[in-house]
């Protein structure tokens, strides 16, 4: 007689371990170690400008969409201007978004594969280290949460909530606006119109007052990311921008709106329309493929859209993995998803902090080429999954 197969420990246990491990990190590790390779010090320095009465988007431009800079400012006020308190509060805020994202990941996976396999997916995410590193480095947990919330709302046909999530996500990282393509593909243009209108209202409600108060700095903030020179991509290699990252210069430059539009390094050798054209055509081809899965291909299509966006983008930031990882766990058979997540994670850790923190710029082209090949292979694998009628479960391969 075959022994009974043991079930995976419950989602509740995974959630408790997920939260408790991160809380213990905050309790045990010195703040200097927690923030050594991240951007928390930079966030603190920006928020500290409020001591002199300076507010982002009003008195200086920001390279980030407005939601986090104002959250960061509120946290700074609560911290009393003490760096250790600020780090703790930002970490706890991001942990709330991480925990919400984990719950949404579980609910989405349960819809697709059932509770048992959804629990497996959650346990894999809990065991990954890359999300821990990004949690203690950036605010991208917010972006990942809003992406997953939009997908969850779409599966529930709650178009207003999907639009709200897309709007708030766009006001966190601009990138989630592409989720409107997922809504259109999954529910049609009328649904995309409804969600798009809600997202537009959300963005207008946040940006409108800022544009009225300070049009120069608000427009400069919206322009800043688009004006960056290429960094850490094959496009950067073509442009000769090997020894630079996505940094936009010293904080003092934020007080000059003209600085937001200045290219700090070599300009692009290829015009934007030329690099966009093949990716736009490929995206249109993928978008117009009729769905072959009975329950839709939202996570797969979204993961593929993000992957193509990363390949086209003139820059790359390692923290962008955080909103790709849960999508891969939902879109691919579990073993394949873990393989891509780990390989991509190791390449990015090799890039930062191993190579860049040591000033080994001559090694950067190697990781850029490897990462680009991995993303291209991932795009092909996601497209194959999208065209496969059978809904593969988390344990299938």
Q: What is the DSSP string of 141-165?
A: HHHHHHHHHHHHHHHTT-HHHHHHH
313 by DSSP, 3-state: which? coil
pLDDT(191) > 50: yes
Q: Each residue of 57-116: pLDDT tens digit?
A: 999 999 999 999 999 999 999 999 999 999 999 999 999 999 999 999 999 999 999 999
pLDDT tens digit string along 279-338? 999 999 999 998 887 667 899 999 999 999 999 999 999 999 999 999 999 999 999 999
d(CA 110, CA 9): 15
**Partners of 315 in beta bridges:** 231
For the chain, percent of residues with pLDDT exceeding 70: 95
Is 80 exceeded by the pLDDT of residue 7? no
Q: How far is residue 150's CA from residue 162's CA, in Å, rounded to a whole number?
A: 4
Contact in structure between 337 and 329 (CB atoms under 8 Å): yes
- List the chain domain ranges: 11-386
What is the Cα Rg of the chain in Å? 21
The pLDDT-based confidence of 161 (bands split at 50, 70, 90) is very high
pTM, 2 dp? 0.95
pLDDT band for position 3 (50/70/90)?
A: very low
Q: What is the pLDDT of residues 240-295, one digit of tens each?
A: 998 877 777 889 999 999 998 888 889 899 988 899 999 999 999 999 998 887 66
- List all residues 6 or more positions away from 287 whose beta carbon is below 8 Å from its beta carbon: 181, 184, 185
Mean pLDDT of 197-202: 98
Query: What pLDDT was estimated at residue 228?
Result: 83
Taking a C-beta distance cutoff of 8 angstroms, is the pair 330, 125 a contact?
no
Residue 9 confidence (pLDDT): 78
Helix (H) or strand (E) holding 374: helix 364-386
Query: What pLDDT does residue 127 have?
Result: 96
Whether the Cβ atoms of residue 394 and residue 326 lie closer than 8 Å to each other: no
pLDDT of residue 34: 87
Q: How confident is the model at residue 4 (pLDDT cuts 50, 70, 90)?
A: very low
Residue 372: which of 339, 336, 344 has the closest Cα?
A: 344
Q: What is the mean pLDDT of the chain?
A: 92
Query: Is the dihedral angle over the CA atoms 155, 306, 141, 210 positive or is it negative?
Result: negative
Using one digit for the tens of pLDDT, what is the confidence trace for 203-231? 999 999 999 999 999 999 999 888 788 99
């Amino acid at each position: 007689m075959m022994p009974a197969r043991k079930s995976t420990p419950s989602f509740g246990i995974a959630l408790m371990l997920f939260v408790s491990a991160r809380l213990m990190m905050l309790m045990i590790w010195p703040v200097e170690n927690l923030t050594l390779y991240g951007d928390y010090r930079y966030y603190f320095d920006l928020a500290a400008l409020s001591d002199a009465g300076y507010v982002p988007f009003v008195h200086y431009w920001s390279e980030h969409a407005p939601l986090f800079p104002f959250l960061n400012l509120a946290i700074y006020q609560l911290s009393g201007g003490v760096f250790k308190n600020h780090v703790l509060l930002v970490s706890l805020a991001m942990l709330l978004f991480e925990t919400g994202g984990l719950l949404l990941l579980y609910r989405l996976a349960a819809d697709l594969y059932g509770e048992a396999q959804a629990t497996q997916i959650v346990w894999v995410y809990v065991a990954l280290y890359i999300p821990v590193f990004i949690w203690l480095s950036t605010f991208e947990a917010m972006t990942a949460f809003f992406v997953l919330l939009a997908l969850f709302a779409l599966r529930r046909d709650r178009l207003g909530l999907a639009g709200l999530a897309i709007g708030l996500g766009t006001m966190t990282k601009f990138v989630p606006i592409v989720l409107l393509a997922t809504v259109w593909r999954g529910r049609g243009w009328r649904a995309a119109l409804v969600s798009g209108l809600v997202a537009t209202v959300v963005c207008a409600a946040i940006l409108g007052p800022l544009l009225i108060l300070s049009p120069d700095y608000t427009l400069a903030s919206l322009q800043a990311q688009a004006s960056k020179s290429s960094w850490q991509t094959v496009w950067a290699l073509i442009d000769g921008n090997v020894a630079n990252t996505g940094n936009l210069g010293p904080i003092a430059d934020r007080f000059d709106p003209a600085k937001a539009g200045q290219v700090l390094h070599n300009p692009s050798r290829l015009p934007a329309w030329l690099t966009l054209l093949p990716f736009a055509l490929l995206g249109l081809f993928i978008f117009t493929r009729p769905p072959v899965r009975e329950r839709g291909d939202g996570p797969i299509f979204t993961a593929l859209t993000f992957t193509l966006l990363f390949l086209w983008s003139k820059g790359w930031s390692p923290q962008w993995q955080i909103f790709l990882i849960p999508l891969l766990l939902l879109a691919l058979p579990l073993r394949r998803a873990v393989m891509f997540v780990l390989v991509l994670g190791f390449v990015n850790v090799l890039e930062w902090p191993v190579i860049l923190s040591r000033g080994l710029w001559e090694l950067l082209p190697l990781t850029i080429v490897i990462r680009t090949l991995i993303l291209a292979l991932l795009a092909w694998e996601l497209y194959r999954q999208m065209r496969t009628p059978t809904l593969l479960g988390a344990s299938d391969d």
